[in-house]
Structures are given as structure tokens and as C-alpha cells.
Amino acid sequence: MLHKYDPRSQKAGEFISHKEIMDTLDYAWANRSNTRLIDEILAKGRECKGLTHREAAVLLDCAIPEKNHEIFRLAEEIKEKIYGNRVVLFAPLYLSNYCVNGCLYCPYHAVNKHIPRKKLSQDEIRQEVTALQDMGHKRLALEAGEHPVMNPIEYVLESIQTIYGIRHKNGAIRRVNVNIAATTVENYRKLKEAGIGTYVLFQETYNREDYERLHPWGPKSDYAYHTEAMDRAMQGGIDDVGLGVLFGLSLYRYDFVGLLMHAEHLEAAYGVGPHTISVPRLCKADDIDPRKFKGGIDDETFAKVVACIRVAVPYTGIIVSTRESPEVRERVLRLGVSQISAASKTSVGGYAGEAAEDTSQFERHDTRSVDEIVRWLMELGYIPSFCTACYREGRTGEVFMGIAKSGNIHLRCQPNALMTLKEYLMDYASPVTKEVGEAFVREEVGKIPVERLREITLRYLGRIESGERDLRV
């Protein structure tokens, strides 16, 4: 059937229907000043049960200043209610920038001849991970270009095993999320068996026409295969998946709706929505000039996008990278972002000090150290968290969503955030951060609302003080 829209279908053209997106955009635009409808949507949003893509699109297009103010306030309330004041920290680890694809927006595209190509050996991975552990990181996102010869699945699996096996002083990487090219059900099964956390794959853009223009050759040029990757990941047993678009490639309103339709599809077809949504904006890089793309969004629009995602999918973590400046990060943290990368190097081999920055995938606008970010977060009233507890306690997929939707996940996040912060303060913090942090932890423990949890946390903090590590609830 022409223009069939079916969120349960496993065909990309049916769960991401171009016609449904265009109809949604018309509907949203026509209702951008419809106070009654916007009030109804806001009231539904307040129940923390999420919104449909149509409802969320109306909020995104809302042209009434007071209502926009309410949308931002509601996003802040939902963020606070569901996630509390913890902010999870992670770092990307680039394994290899060999790539056979031709993505027009990425410097790793196959025909870029000025960028040095590099693939980390297992020894180099050990050096990188040791450097990351020395910064205090516990959670990584693995990144690699698509290259069947240089970066086969066996290389990725071996690298994951290497990373989990590295113990350096009190350090350990406790959760490895993986961002590699769309692959087969069988390969997703192998990734699951290797113990990955979230499988992350950015759609880049949901607009098929733009997608095909931006990916002129290579395996990634197959829109349907790429868009159906999360279905194969779910079939391979991976139940935590992370979506994202690269804002700036196509029209942001289109991609906003596509992203939410993709989330609805995962929920309808597999009973579990995306674990995370990333909101990168196109950045300058070698051979890449963001001005050449048509859909760049300013900071205000970016903040609105984050706020509307927060209201639309309250239980999905939102991730912002070091592509954004400290000022923008501060704003979107209030509006719904729950995870940020810290002290990232976006080059292959960047942490151990060997790599030249000219292998970077994108320019970073937040170059602060982990220590500076930890202190900055505490000064803003957030608990910097290195927590990986849910994945390690088997709270993934539907089980995780069940706890999250009961509205109780923050009861675990808060103690775990404080315990992992305490570990950081003991093992890695500078004297000034340690001083600020110890007082901050004492104050925050007192705010844990459930007495039993408060007592456990205090007891565990004492055990961490005495040298134990990796305690969690």
C-alpha cells in the first residue's frame, strides 16, 4: 500500500513514513498558536507518560511566548522528577578511523586523503583505557568507522574483551557502550554476548532523500538497512539501544518527528523504547564545513528540541557531547539532558597523548578536564555520576523501563551517583575538587528521601572510605 504508516512494522518505510511526517509538520504548523490544544498537550505531558510525535511536534512549533515558557518549565520539572540531580559522565573511545563510507559530513569518509588513518592495536587500547581510568572514567562509548577488513566484528569484540579486562590501580571500565555501523542480527548477538551496555547508532537524518544524497556510496547508503538496524539489534538480544540524529544535516522539524516515530516504533514492536537519545549538532572538522548543510539550528532552537524530547519521552536518557560549549551544556542540562561526555578526545589514540588532533572526527567546544567538569557540576547543584549499576544488576530493556516508568529510578540513581562520586574524590580528584566534593556528598546524602536508602548509602560511603570499591544499589 502506498504511504502505509505502521509503527509495528519492521520495514523502515512503514514505521518512518514520509507522508506521516509531512502531515504531522502541517498539523503542528497549523496549530502553533492553538492555545487550547497546546494546554491539553501540556496537561498530558505533566502526567509524565510521554506524548505522541504529533503532540510533541505541536509543542516544538508553538509560537506563543508564554506557552513556550511553560514548555521549558515542564521539561525542567520532568527532568527533576525522573532523574533527580544526577548527571552521568562518560567518554568516547575511538578505535579506528578507517571507513569505507562516503558520508559527506564526516572527515573519516573514505576519500578524505588529508586525514591520517589509524587503528588501535590491543596494546594501544590498553594505554588509552589506562589513561581514561586515570581520569576517573568508568563508562565508555566505543566508536569505529565501518571497514570490513580493518574493523571487522572480531576486532570490535576483542577490543571489548580487552577493555573489560584492564584493571589499573582502582580503575575499571564497568560499561562499554558501542557505536558501530549497522550490522547483522548475528553480529548484534555477538555484541550482546560480549557484554555491551547500549548499542548506539545515529540515524543522521530520517529524510530518505537527504539521507541518500548525504551517503552517496558505501554500505551506509542503504537507508532501509541503516534505519532497520535497531530492529536487528533487538532481534539479536540487545535491549538497550540509543537513537540520535545529527542536527544540521536536514530540516530539524522533520528529524525531530522521525526520531520520535522511531522511538514509538521500538515501543510498539518490542515493548521497550530507546534507552537514550543523542542530540549532536553538526560541527566543523577536517574537510567539513557545517555552512554547506541546510539545517543548522541556533542555540535557542536546540534548547527547544531538547525540552520537547524531554516531555515526549520522559524515560529516555538524553545525551549531549563535547560538541556543545559549556554554556549550552549548562542550559540543556536543566532542560532534560541526563548524560554528558567529559574530557573527550575525538581522535584515534587521543587519550594516551600520542595522536595528533588532526584525526579528530569533530571539533570540541568543551575541552575541560574531568576534574573541572566534576567541580562545575557540583557548583551547579548536580551530582556527577560514574554509575553503571543498572546494566550490571541486569536492569536493562523492559525491566529498566518498568522501574523508570514507576517513577522510582532516581531512588537508585541518587545513592549510586554519590557512591561513584565518592570513589572519584578518593582516587582521582584534585585537592580543591576533593574539598568541594566531600562537603557536597555530605549534604546530598541528607537529601535521600528514603531512610533505609540513606542508611545504606552512608554505610557504603564508609566502606568506600576504607578502600572498598564498586558498591551499588
- Site residues for ligand SF4 per CB under 6 A: 86, 88, 99, 101, 103, 106, 108-109, 145-146, 181, 220, 385, 387-390, 409, 412-413, 416
For residue 338, the tally of other CB atoms under 10 A from its CB is 21
Specify the residue, 44 or 213, whose C-beta has the smaller distance to ligand SF4.
Answer: 213
Copy the grid coordinates of residue 372: 573541572
Nearer to ligand SF4, 25 or 82 (CB): 82
CB atoms within 10 A of CB 398: 12
Residue 300: which of 39, 68, 33, 26 has the closest Cα? 68
**Residue linked to cell 575525538:** 346
Coil, strand or helix at 13: helix
Q: Which residues contact 159 (CB under 8 A, 6 or more apart)?
A: 95, 120, 122, 125, 142
Cβ 57 to ligand SF4, closest distance in Å?
27
Least separation in angstroms between CB 60 and ligand SF4: 26
* Closer residue to ligand SF4, CB minimum distance, 40 or 152: 152
30 vs 450 by CB, closer to ligand SF4: 450
Q: How far is the CB of 261 from ligand SF4 (least distance, A)?
A: 22
Instruction: Please identify, using beta-carbon distances, which residue of 139 and 262 lies nearer to ligand SF4.
Output: 139
Gap between the Cα atoms of 209 and 36, Å rounded: 35
Q: How far is the CB of 215 from ligand SF4 (least distance, A)?
A: 7
Residue 449: DSSP 8-state: S
Task: Quote the CA–CA distance of 333 and 331 in Å, as a whole number.
Answer: 5
CB of 398 to ligand SF4, least distance (A): 14
Instruction: Name the residue nearer to ligand SF4 (CB basis): 31 or 416.
Output: 416
In angstroms, give the least distance from the CB of 88 to ligand SF4.
5
Indicate the residue among 42 and 413 with the shorter CB distance to ligand SF4: 413
- The amino acid occupying position 448 is I
Residue 87, C-beta contacts closer than 8 angstroms, at least 6 positions apart? 333, 337, 338, 339, 340, 377, 382, 383, 384, 385
Kindly tell me which of 297 and 413 has the beta carbon lying closer to ligand SF4: 413
Distance, in Å, from the CA atom of 110 to the CA atom of 285, rounded to the nearest integer, reads: 15
Shortest separation between residue 352's beta carbon and ligand SF4, angstroms:
21
**Cβ of residue 361: shortest distance to ligand SF4, in angstroms?**
7
Contacts of 72 (CB under 8 A, 6+ apart): 303, 304, 307, 335
d(CA 71, CA 417): 28
Measured distance CA(249)–CA(295) in Å, rounded? 5
